[in-house]
Structure 1
Amino acid sequence: MNIENIENVKIDTAEIQLDQFLKWAGILPSCGETKILIEERRIRRNGEVESARRRKLHDGDIIEIEGLGAWKVVHEEG
């Protein structure tokens, strides 16, 4: 993934669950969609295939979804 194609997504908490992050950012319409994409092995976190939809994400984590794009978690105090 080319670093130029990564979109920053700001969160105001220190951590967020993967499924909640994808819904919060408007990437997926529901948390349930995350489970399907994990089963299809289409989600990567920091380059590794992700296996847990409730994985805690932190500032700097990069999420890639095959065919959809890539996003970086950016923690920003409210």
Structure 2
Amino acid sequence: MPRAPIHDVPIAESPIRLGQFLKLAGLAEDGGHARTLLEADEVLVNGRVETRRGAQLQAGDVVAVGGQRARPVAAG
């Protein structure tokens, strides 16, 4: 089964907190949903489970949730 394409999400500043990025990328509906996903070990960052909402993402990191993938990229 092919992997989902990676959706590039422009960010104004790097690093960005994972909880913020999940909302910005549309991978979570709100902060509560982001927390639920993280507590359920459903969020992967660069292929590894991440449970910290405050984890710092750099441009190019790949975040995966439920078959969807996104990565922060520098805006501009």
Task: Work out whether the TM-score is over 0.5.
Answer: yes
The count of residues paired between Structure 1 and Structure 2 equals: 75
In structure 1, stretches of 5+ residues that fail to align are: none
Q: Note the C-alpha offset of 1:45.
A: 0.2
% same residue = 32
> Cα RMSD over matched residues?
1.7
Could you tell me the TM-score, scaled by structure 1's length?
Answer: 0.83
Q: Deviations over 1:9-31 (max 9, x none)?
A: 11010211111111122332211
- Structure 1 counterpart SS, 2:60: coil
Q: Counterparts of 1:74 and 1:27 in 2: how far apart (Å)?
A: 16
- Structure 2 counterpart SS, 1:61: coil
Q: Counterparts of 2:17 and 2:33 in 1: how far apart (Å)?
A: 14
Q: Counterparts of 2:66 and 2:29 in 1: how far apart (Å)?
A: 16
Q: Deviations over 1:43-62 (max 9, x none)?
A: 00000000201111111000
Could you tell me the TM-score, scaled by structure 2's length?
Answer: 0.85
